[in-house]
Structure 1
Amino acid sequence: MTENQGRTVPAEADVTELDDMITGSVFTPDDAGYPAAAAGFNLLSQHRPSLVVAASTADDVQAAVAFAAAHDLPVGVMATGHQPFPLADGFLLITTGDMNAIEIDADRSVARVEAGARVADIVELAQTAGLAPLHGSSPTVGIAGFTLGGGMSPFLGRTHGWAADHILSIDVVTPDGVLRRVSAETEPELFWGLRGGRSNFGVVTGLEIELFPVTSFYGGGIYYPAGDVEAVLRAFPEVLRNAPDGFTCSVMLLNFPPVPEVPELLRGRFLAHVRVVHLGSDEEAEKLIAPFRAIGPAVADTVERRPYSEFAAVHTDPVDPMPYEEHGTALTDLPTEAVDRLVENARLMAGSPVTALEIRHLGGELANRPSGASPIAARDAVINVWGITLGPPEAVDAGISVLREMTERLEPWATEHIHTNFAGRDNRVEQLFTTADLDRLRRLKQQYDPRNLFRVNNHNITPE
């Protein structure tokens, strides 16, 4: 082992031997491809691993895990790198972005996906069979990371529940280097823990997940100007009051920067973006969103009947890597007093460094805990509040400070826990799981990873 700019790097001969063993690629800090190999979607999460193994097969992952164990290197795992985690160096990073095969079993309504498959790819392929997975708003997020973090779908979640509860089996390389296929029937305890604990117990190389019959929806976005933001927030609980499970709605407050990349209609403006998804009829959807329609003219309106393949048009999430930080909370109720605080938050946010604040409708099947459910803690939440700040570190720090103040105003209605996929860099593992589930997860960690080898690029669960 040698030192390179403060990082421990295995001997060159050992790295060469590893490179010869795998079909993927190995990068050290001296390699020209290292920066790109170590980078994820979030450009603020610039880890400094001693070694990057860009795996292309499960065998590659096994070789990388065995190498890390032999050289006492902590292990981190990354597919697309959307979620921010505490920065780290001196570890072995295994990337699975090149493992992106997808197989659709239309007869069983099941998909088998490799760890690097992205949401847009599985939606496109599943739609050829009239099916869709539980997925998030972004087309570029990895389906494995989304699903193993709980998987709160703004399209099908209120109808079918959490994505993690619809995993049928998981292929995982555990810290001992063994490739296992685990399910509720085989190694049920590990199967339970992976569906929320993610890379704390190994490297997931593939999933088998349920699919659901849907080919279209009625939805899109409505943008309201700054003068109507309060009216939008006041109308929001009225819209939710009689909403069926097939209807999902969220409001995102947006500070659009005055840059050429933003459409001229939105550039440099503070707006409320109402996002609508309805699996029922167009007429029923329009009745549900009537309180929004009554507010007045919109800046833009894209709500219409859409093929399901156009899911990304609802939230219009960015698709290019960018630097950002996020912070949020979850609420058990949205009474008038809480809406008043949201209105105050909107006034605080306008013109601030905060880029966006989303208030998302939950409930429905997301509130249920089926038999054998995954360790998702905040099932009692009816509203998820999540904010993000884009830009250089100084702007991000200023924005996160404002976001913390905004979420503190909502503390009287906050749940004890937050959703794993919306956890920020500074959230503790105790905030993600109930005490009983965390104790159980720590016992599981002691069983499979007593050295805590898998402790980087995750919200780390320490051994018992």
Structure 2
Amino acid sequence: MSGRSSINEGSASAAQAADDPGDHFATRLRSAVKGAVLFPRDPGFTAEHAGFNPAVRHTPEAIVVPDDAGDIRATVRLASLLGLPVAVQATGHGISAAADGGILINTRRLGSVTIDPVERVARVAAGARMREVVEAAAAHGLAAINGASLDVGAVGYTLGGGLGPLGRKHGYAADHVRAIDLVTPGGRLLRLSPDQHEDLFWAVRGGKSNFGVVTSMEIGLVTMAALYGGALFFLGEAADRVVRAYPAWAAELPEEMTTTLAFMRLPEAPTVPPPLQGRVAVRLTAAYLGGEEEGERLLAPMLAAGPKLGSMGALPYEKIGTIANDPPVAPLPVYERTGLLHTLDDAAVERLLALAGPDATLPPGVIELRQLGGALARPAAVPNAIGHRDAGFLLFMANPAPADQAREVKGLQQNLMDALEPHLTGGMLPNFMSSSDLAPERVRAAYTPADYERLARLKQLHDPRNLFRVNHNIEPGDVTRPAATP
């Protein structure tokens, strides 16, 4: 039973009920939780469901802002009883599917982070941002496996894989999860770990919100002794030389250094240095887990390419977010595409230069290559659903544009994807999927075939009505065979 018709019918009845905040549905929901409950007529409703990327807009029937895990359990139990879909949001950075109908749980009030420096473990609540984890860990000389942006929700980032500047040395953030507290579709609170509910522990680390609401997690931390890094921007002939030299240079780097290469068309804005305004630049970022002298030596071949803007240098770990320097807000809708490349050979480089290089016509935004390999290529010590570990690079495009230009921007993105098709593996990583990747075949591409089959069967076992489907949905599948061991 997929539950689609019953969910839609339940959503319609809830919508009728929610028109009057004094009705039975509203009364039951408000009496079930201690936190805030909002309906479309209530002040603050829009602010509570607004996300980072306005390309996706929610229209839920109700929003719950829980005070604790008990509120989440009560909300899920009521949603299950009424056949309403449940969506989950923390910071709003990972929005892909619109929460149309049903109940949106906004976990932003659950933001606590505690560090055990002896065990090197962080306990992170559902609404905490990665910045809060980084700052708390840094106070003890420790580091989390954070991403390029520190403003994203720590739980969503980690459970979607978690790829960042420490990745080639330490692997995916999901590989470092020790335990998870999960509210199931039936409203039970389960402790997941390598020794408890092992099937769900495997599935949630990669399957994200398909199996319930994560109220908190425990993640392993690593010692951070030294960090060297930054970003450099190259223009014109220097940009061309950097792009052509990058593949061979990156292939010789030690695992302690993780790099990205991006084509960026920057806006004509006062926050952008004048030489970069309205131009296509190539940005090289690097994070090296070592000293400044060795970092400079490793970077020397790229510095020889020619004039550049930006800087590299020693950084305290809590400043690691300045390497990518992602914007805190998205003022316009942002349209994204992603894929994985086997490697960067000469043909792939030429296609990139032709369609994304300094002489190409691009919409504002970024076309980025993230270097993989190293620890990212090795299996996790405790297996999870993050696969496709044989890829050499991740390709990610993000282009902001007004809604009336969406079709044009998506067409340019598709042109690049088509040109690179011979070099793409056909796979993706869960964290980088967007609203363009909601179709079942796109969701399947985020996992290996064996992993997707196992996830679908676990979904059938744990969420047969597909209560948690406002996401990159793993639809309930066949359970005639036992779930395979990864």
Q: Same fold (TM over 0.5)?
A: yes
Match of 1:421 in 2: 431
**Cα separation, 2, equivalents of 1:158 and 1:259:** 34
- 2:389 maps to a residue whose letter is R
CA deviations on 1:278-334 (whole Å, 9 max, x unpaired) are 112222222222221111111x22211111111111001011243212102111111
2:46 to 35, 46, 50: 35
User: Residue 9 of structure 1 contacts residue 51 of structure 1 at CA under 8 Å; is this kept in 2?
Assistant: no
Number of residue pairs the alignment of both structures matches:
462
User: Residue 55 of structure 1 contacts residue 98 of structure 1 at CA under 8 Å; is this kept in 2?
Assistant: yes
- C-alpha RMSD of the superposition: 2.0
User: Residue 366 of structure 2 contacts residue 399 of structure 2 at CA under 8 Å; is this kept in 1?
Assistant: yes
- 1:189 maps to a residue whose letter is D
Query: By how many angstroms is 1:416 displaced?
Result: 2.8
2:458 to 426, 444, 449: 444
**Cα separation, 1, equivalents of 2:318 and 2:381:** 32
2:156 to 145, 151, 164: 145
Q: Match of 2:228, SS?
A: strand
Match of 1:430 in 2: 444
**Cα separation, 1, equivalents of 2:49 and 2:199:** 32
Match of 1:309 in 2: 318
TM-score (norm 1): 0.95
User: Where does 1:267-282 land on structure 2 (aligned, <5 Å)?
Assistant: 267-282=277-292
Change in CA separation of 1:242 and 1:183 when aligned onto 2, cut-off 3 Å: same
Match of 1:339 in 2: 349
Match of 1:194 in 2: 204
Kindly indicate whether residue 70 of structure 2 is the aligned counterpart of residue 59 of structure 1.
yes
CA deviations on 1:117-139 (whole Å, 9 max, x unpaired) are 11111100101110011110111
Match of 1:124 in 2: 135
Bigger shift: residues 388-397 or 344-353: 344-353
**Cα separation, 2, equivalents of 1:101 and 1:35:** 25
Q: Match of 2:227, SS?
A: strand
User: Where does 1:176-325 land on structure 2 (aligned, <5 Å)?
Assistant: 176-298=186-308, 300-322=309-331, 323-325=333-335
CA deviations on 1:165-193 (whole Å, 9 max, x unpaired) are 11110001000000111111000001000
**Cα separation, 1, equivalents of 2:399 and 2:41:** 32
Match of 1:92 in 2: 103
Change in CA separation of 1:9 and 1:344 when aligned onto 2, cut-off 3 Å: farther
Change in CA separation of 1:117 and 1:377 when aligned onto 2, cut-off 3 Å: same
**Cα separation, 2, equivalents of 1:462 and 1:341:** 39
Match of 1:401 in 2: 411
Match of 2:470 in 1: 456
- 1:314 maps to a residue whose letter is I
**Cα separation, 2, equivalents of 1:84 and 1:61:** 19
Bigger shift: residues 83-92 or 1-10: 1-10
- 1:320 maps to a residue whose letter is V
Change in CA separation of 1:361 and 1:302 when aligned onto 2, cut-off 3 Å: same
User: Residue 449 of structure 1 contacts residue 463 of structure 1 at CA under 8 Å; is this kept in 2?
Assistant: no
Query: By how many angstroms is 1:453 displaced?
Result: 0.6
TM-score (norm 2): 0.91
Identity of aligned residues (%): 38
Change in CA separation of 1:8 and 1:198 when aligned onto 2, cut-off 3 Å: farther
Change in CA separation of 1:88 and 1:18 when aligned onto 2, cut-off 3 Å: closer
Bigger shift: residues 231-240 or 82-91: 82-91
User: Residue 85 of structure 2 contacts residue 469 of structure 2 at CA under 8 Å; is this kept in 1?
Assistant: yes
- 1:234 maps to a residue whose letter is R
Query: By how many angstroms is 1:423 displaced?
Result: 1.1
Change in CA separation of 1:57 and 1:411 when aligned onto 2, cut-off 3 Å: same
**For structure 2, which runs of at least 5 residues remain unmatched after alignment?**
1-8, 479-486
Kindly indicate whether residue 357 of structure 2 is the aligned counterpart of residue 372 of structure 1.
no
**Cα separation, 2, equivalents of 1:263 and 1:320:** 19
